[in-house]
Amino acid sequence: MINIDAIISQVFNGIQFGVLMALLATGLSLIFGMLGVINFAHGSLYMLGAYFVWTCVRLLNFPGNFWVALFLTVPFLALVGFIIEKILLQRMYGQPPSYQILITFGLMLVIQQGVALVYGTIPLPLGIPSSFAGEVNLGLLRYPIYRLFTMVLGLAIISAVWFFVERSTLGAIIRASAEDPETAKTLGINTRTVYTWTFALGSALAGIGGGLHAPLIGGLQHSIGVEIVLISFIVVVIGGTGSIRGALLGGILLGIVRGIAGVFWAPASDFVMFVTMGIILLFRPQGLLGRGAAQ
Amino acid sequence: MKSEKGSARKGLLADLLFIVIMVAILIPIYFIFPSKMMAAEILIMALPTLSFILLLGYTGLLSFSTGSLFAVGAYTAGILLSRHQAHIFVAIFAGVAMSGIVALVMGYFCIKRGGLIFSLLTLAFNQLIWFIIWQWKTFTGGPDGIWGIHRSSLSLGGWVINLKPTFNFYIFVILFFLLVFIFVRRLIGSPFGKVLLGMRESELRATAIGYNPETYKWIAFIISGMICGVGGALFALHQEYVGEHLANWFTSGEVAIMALLGGAFTIQGALIGSAVFIFLADFLNKFKVLSQSGAWLLVLGVVFILVVMFFRGGIYGGFEKVLEWVQKKERKGHAEGGEINER
């Protein structure tokens, strides 16, 4: 018998996971839309964020250390992204896109194995912060507070990024540099700086996603980013490239489908992601909210 | 008509010359190798690399599905050999056919979206196939893989050849390697290859002339899938075991690294890249510090990034540059001697 409670709970978990994936996909989509780079190292940045939080929690020994750590992931990962863009990617603009993909693939290997070298390959557990440990009664079900919190914070961050990119003046500069770099340059916009900061922003989003998710992962391992980056790629494809709302919609849809499939047969949860992607691509090759034949 | 026949004969001669040269190089090399298993492995891994280069170099498509197509070939051949005692040639042929069929279906979904989205889609399909192999325990063995593949007896009419000794198997692999290599050379020179090249230069113009880019890319994708299948089937025979890790996207990544190391736009780069990669991996793994922590991958990643950033032509590209430089010097010498030699 399949009980309704299990399904509802899985739908919630699905939404929670979906929001997290949307957070990653937003960063990925931003980087892809602005720089035209598919960032394979995105999952590694997510993993770095999780490890950074773990390290900070160990180092800072006072109540609320988790929140400080989570807050610090943003500048830290932005710095990492900044350096990566300056040293590696900036030399690759104007080269065939395949080289950019491959360089991020190499970067992924380096970050992942570097972390394995420093932290070892044994899973490192990170508990849920004690102030958010309990459950909350939502009427339909009792749901862990921390999961609910990641959902809310994730949605808030994605909304903020959307507002920043689509509505603010700085966002207009970013969009202008992406759509027509030549004209943007003649208007006095330094597109190189814009690219650098966009990549830093995307990296920070991946990092905070990793930090938020870290307590929910049984134990941190250097390979956690690999599966995550694949799922966020699928979210980007489903939602449509370059669309933040698409990333959110795609993430939540994928999360719910994945959660429900998991109730019936656990191994199917990964399988249905691919099936969902296949079906959506058959009927809407540009993704749910993609802009026509954007290439 | 006459000239056509003549050029066909010339092509055949060139191929024969190529075979003779390659055999003359490849057979003595075997005896230099420190580990005899490596020799065959290099030739086998050159095949998926060749398929990757064919696709990237001639259609501009960067595929991340080489790993899964390689694995499909390996599993098909492996299952036929271990459970159904199939003839080795039948198993290889089935592996190639199966990879071709999978590439046909995969290509249908992926080719429509060109460029970077193509790479993402092939990556997703690659993981889908890996996932099926991982989960379908009764058929693929799941995490255990397929055991009990034997290459000990290859019957040819009345003859039975034992492929168990590494040298015999190496010769067997050389045959397939040369077959595929010549096929690719022919393909590139054929009208089909010319259309692909034209499309790479200007898809719009090719479309205007009346070629359908999607169809041509699709066919190229299927052919490259079948080449992966040859490699996979041979790999199953080589290891006498097939594991699920072959289908993982890390295999695709490894193939991409090999292609870039060798030189991603020349078919000769495939062999060089695969050789350098396997030697490098073997060398790095000799150090216990590096192999235990997996840090050899770190070194590999750094080497790879440096190659992509600074030596984009790969090793073969560097080799060509040196040749060009020498030729230029020679030409200069001629010019100084008073000879005017245009072209």
Give B336's pLDDT tier (boundaries 50, 70, 90). low
Which residues in chain A have Cβ-Cβ distances shorter than 8 Å to B293?
113, 116-117, 120-121
Calculate Rg over the CA atoms of chain A: 19
Residue of A nearest to B303 (CA): A106
Say if the Cβ atoms of B114 and A103 lie within 8 Å. Answer: no
Cα distance between residue B269 and residue B126, in whole Å: 24
Q: Please compute the mean of the pLDDT values over residues B228-242 and round it to a whole number.
A: 93
pLDDT for B3: 54
pLDDT tens-digit series, residues A220-260: 888 888 888 989 988 988 888 778 899 999 999 999 998 88
User: Are A107 and B117 inside 8 Å of each other by CB?
Assistant: no
Residues A265 and A12: beta-carbon distance below 8 Å: no
Distance CA A246, CA B295 (A): 38
The predicted structure's pLDDT at residue A190: 87
Q: What gap in Å lies between CA A46 and CA A51, rounded to an integer?
A: 9
Question: Which of A249, A258, A255 is closest to A287 using CA atoms?
Answer: A249
Q: Given phi > 0 = left and psi -120 to 50 = alpha, else beta, which region is B60? A: left
Is A170 an interface residue toward B (CB < 8 Å)? no
Query: Does the structure show a pLDDT above 60 at A293?
Result: no
For residue B85 the two structure tokens come to 């005692």
Distance of CA A94 to the CA centre of its chain: 26
* pLDDT for B340 beyond 60: no
Most confident of A74-88, A92-106, B77-91, B138-152: A74-88
- Per-residue DSSP letters for B19-51? HHHHHHHHHHHHHH-SSHHHHHHHHHHHHHHHH
ipTM over 0.95 threshold = no
The partner residues of A143 in beta bridges, in order of sequence, read A136
Question: Would you place residue B4 in the very low, low, confident or very high pLDDT band (cuts 50, 70, 90)?
Answer: low
Q: What is the mean pLDDT of chain A?
A: 87
B297 touches chain A (CB under 8 A): yes
Quote the tokens at residue B104.
Answer: 């046909």
Beta-carbon contacts of A31 under 8 Å, excluding residues fewer than 6 positions away, are A37, A39, A42, A198, A199, A202
Report the alpha-carbon distance of residue A86 to residue A95 in Å, rounded: 16
Alpha-carbon gap, residue A165 to A30, rounded angstroms: 9
A 238-257 → B contacts, CB under 8 A:
241
Number of neighbouring beta carbons within 10 Å of residue A16: 25
Nearest CA to CA, how far is B20 from chain A (Å)?
Answer: 35
Mean pLDDT confidence for A248-275: 85
B329 touches chain A (CB under 8 A): no
How far apart are the C-alpha atoms of A125 and A233, rounded to whole Å?
27
Average pLDDT over residues A86-101: 83
Pairing of strands B159-161, A142-144: unpaired
Cα–Cα distance measured from residue A205 to residue A45, given in angstroms and rounded to the nearest whole number: 9
Residue contact A116–B294, C-beta within 8 A: yes
**Residue B116 forms contact with A (CB below 8 Å):** yes
Phi-psi region of A137 (alpha: psi -120 to 50; beta: other; left: phi over 0): beta
Contacts of B60 in chain A (CB under 8 A): 96, 98
Which residues of chain A have a CB within 8 Å of the CB of B116?
Answer: 32, 36, 38, 97, 101
CA distance B74 to B45: 12
A172 part of contact set with chain B, CB < 8 Å: no
Out of A117, A234, A237, closest to residue B293 by CB = A117
* Number of other residues whose CB lies within 10 A of the CB of residue B333: 10
Distance of CA B167 to the CA centre of its chain: 21
A242: helix, coil or strand? coil
Å between B159 CA and nearest CA of chain A: 47
Mean pLDDT of chain B: 85
* Rounded Cα distance, B78 and B48, in Å: 18
Residue ranges with strand state E in chain B: 154-156, 159-161
Mean pLDDT of A182-211: 91
Contact list, A109 vs chain B (CB under 8 Å) = 253, 297-298, 300-301, 304
**Closest Cα in chain A to B112:** A285
**Spatial distance between the Cα atoms of B149 and B133, rounded to a whole number of angstroms:** 17
Helix orientation angle between A42-59 and A191-213, rounded to the nearest 10 degrees? 60
Check CB contact under 8 Å for A277 and B124.
Answer: yes
Strand-pairing partners, residue B154, are B161
Cβ pair A274, A40 in contact under 8 A: no
Structure tokens at A242: 């370059």
CA distance B89 to chain A (A): 34
Q: Select from A271, A251, A266, A218 the least CA-distant residue to A6.
A: A266
Tokens of A212: 């938020």
* A234-271 b/e (C-beta count within 10 Å ≥ 16 → b): bbbbbbbbbbbbbbbbbbbbbbbbbbbbbbeeeebbbb
**Residue B156 to residues A213, B88, B89, B173, B179, Cα–Cα distance (Å):** 59, 10, 10, 16, 18
Cβ distance A103 to B305 less than 8 Å, yes or no, reads yes
CA atoms within 13 A on the CB side of A181: 13
Task: Spell out which residues of chain B touch residue A230, defining contact as CB-CB under 8 Å.
Answer: 123-124, 127, 249
pLDDT band at A138 (very low <50, low <70, confident <90, very high): confident
Quick check: A248 and A158 in contact, CB under 8 A? yes
Q: How far apart are CA B237 and CA B98, in angstroms?
A: 17
- A105 CA: distance to closest CA in chain B (Å): 8
Return the percentage of chain A with pLDDT > 90, whole number.
36
DSSP at B70: H
Which chain B residues are within 8 Å of A107, Cβ to Cβ?
A: 301, 305
How far B184 CA sits from the closest chain A CA (Å)? 22
Q: Which helix (H) or strand (E) holds B86?
A: none
SS3 of B88-140: the string is HHHHHHHHHHHHHHHHHHHHHHHCCCCHHHHHHHHHHHHHHHHHHHHHCHHHH
Q: What distances in angstroms separate CA B126 from CA A91, A231, B130, B232, one per listed residue?
A: 30, 13, 6, 15
Partner-chain contact B308 A96, CB within 8 Å: no
The reply to whether B158 touches chain A by the CB within 8 Å rule is: no
3-state secondary structure A66-132: HHHHHHHHHHHHHHHHHHHHHHCHHHHCCCCHHHHHHHHHHHHHHHHHHHHHHHCCCCECCCCCHHH
Q: State how far the Cα of B64 lies from the Cα of A131, in Å rounded to an integer.
A: 44
Which of B56, B124, B257 is opposite residue A274, by nearest beta carbon? Answer: B124
> Who has greater pLDDT, A240 or A161?
A161
**Which residue type sits at B13?**
L
Rounded to whole angstroms, how far apart are CA atoms A201 and A198? 5
